[in-house]
């Protein structure tokens, strides 16, 4: 009977990863209503209704919010993993800056879109990348989609619909 209630370290590892993914997805999902709320607060602060918000003001506000999020994430990464940041090569910094800039532009456009559509719709449309990525990959590389990937697409579509 010894050892019936004990778990090995490797048995716990998948659960840690699963809960980490659940946490990250929860935070990601919360970002939509939070950013929508911040957009509405900005409009209220400046006394503007949704139809009269100048695009330049919306872009500036969105850019600032996203920039602060990126800076906070970088500082947290530096505090938690300083060797990772200090040990990066020039090529890694260039690649990181390029990917970061593209991601930044995408997020700014997304936050601007949140000014005109509900957070739930924005989250749904963004989540569809989990559905479209394997489909586009299959088309781009001219390969058929395996049954496992097809089932994964259906599960992802069901999940983002819920």
Q: How many helices and strands (H and E) does the chain possess?
A: 7, 0
Spatial neighbors of 131 by CB under 8 A, at least 6 apart, are 153, 156, 157, 160
Specify the pLDDT at position 58. Answer: 67
Cα angle 154-143-127, degrees, rounded to a multiple of 5? 35
What distance in Å separates the CA atoms of residue 151 and residue 145, rounded to the nearest whole number?
10
Specify the pLDDT at position 147. Answer: 93
The tens place of each residue's pLDDT in the chain, 162 residues long, gives 444 455 555 566 788 888 888 888 888 778 778 877 877 787 777 776 655 555 677 677 778 878 888 899 899 999 999 999 899 999 999 999 999 999 888 888 877 777 678 878 887 888 888 888 888 999 999 999 899 989 988 988 888 787
Please tell me the pTM assigned to this model.
0.61
- Which candidate, 128, 96, 97, 123, places its Cα nearest to that of 110? 123
DSSP state letter for 5: T
Q: Which residues of 92-118 are buried (b: 16+ CB within 10 A; e: fewer)?
A: eeeeeeeeeeeebeebbebbbbbbeee
Specify the pLDDT at position 101. Answer: 93
Spatial neighbors of 59 by CB under 8 A, at least 6 apart, are 108, 112
| Tokens linked to 65 | 């919010």
What distance in Å separates the CA atoms of residue 131 and residue 113, rounded to the nearest whole number?
21
């Amino acid at each position: 009977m010894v050892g019936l209630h004990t778990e090995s370290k490797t048995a716990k590892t998948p659960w840690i990863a699963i809960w980490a993914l659940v946490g990250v997805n929860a935070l990601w999902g919360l970002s939509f209503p939070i950013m929508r709320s911040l957009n509405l607060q900005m409009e209220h602060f400046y006394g503007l209704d949704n139809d009269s918000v100048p695009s330049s003001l919306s872009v500036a506000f969105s850019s600032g919010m996203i920039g602060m999020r990126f800076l906070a994430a970088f500082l947290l990464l530096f505090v938690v993993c300083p060797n990772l940041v200090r040990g990066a090569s020039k090529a890694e910094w260039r690649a990181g800056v390029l990917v970061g800039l593209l991601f930044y532009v995408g997020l700014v456009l997304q936050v601007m879109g949140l000014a005109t559509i509900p957070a739930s719709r924005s989250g749904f449309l963004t989540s569809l990348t989990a559905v479209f990525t394997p489909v586009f990959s299959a088309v781009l590389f001219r390969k058929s989609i395996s049954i496992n990937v097809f089932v994964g697409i259906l599960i992802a579509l069901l999940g983002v619909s819920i």
